[in-house]
Amino acid sequence: MTGELSLDPLVVGVVLAMAVVTYATKAGGLWLLGRVEPSERAEAGLDALPGAVVVAILAPELVGSGPPGWLGAAVVALVTHRTGSVLLAMVAGVGSVVLLRGL
């Protein structure tokens, strides 16, 4: 191995095409929403979307994490509810999982 970096032109082209399509999708969506007045129901759905995405990503991992993960999630919910600090809740949740898995 000579230490040289070799880039396959096909891979570079595919990555660039994906970047262009992603940008066009986002820009087109923003352009469209700037010209259309969404209903109250549509706005409520768009407001709830980020939370739904987080749940869709985390729920399968939580189900398979076992008791330490479940307790960690409960700690996160409790600390968030009591303090309102998401950062403190994440630190407490990760700390509780690490502690329980170490036992």
Task: Name the residue type at position 53.
Answer: V
Count of other CB atoms within 10 angstroms of residue 76:
20
Considering the entire predicted model, what is its pTM? Answer: 0.52
Q: Among the residues of 1-103, which ranges form H helices?
A: 9-35, 40-63, 66-83, 86-102
**Where along the chain do its domains lie?**
8-36
The predicted structure's pLDDT at residue 1: 52
pLDDT tens-place string over residues 21-63: 999 999 998 898 889 888 899 888 888 888 888 889 888 988 9
Contact 42, 51 (CB under 8 A): no
57-101 pLDDT, tens per residue? 888 988 998 999 999 999 999 999 999 998 999 999 999 999 999
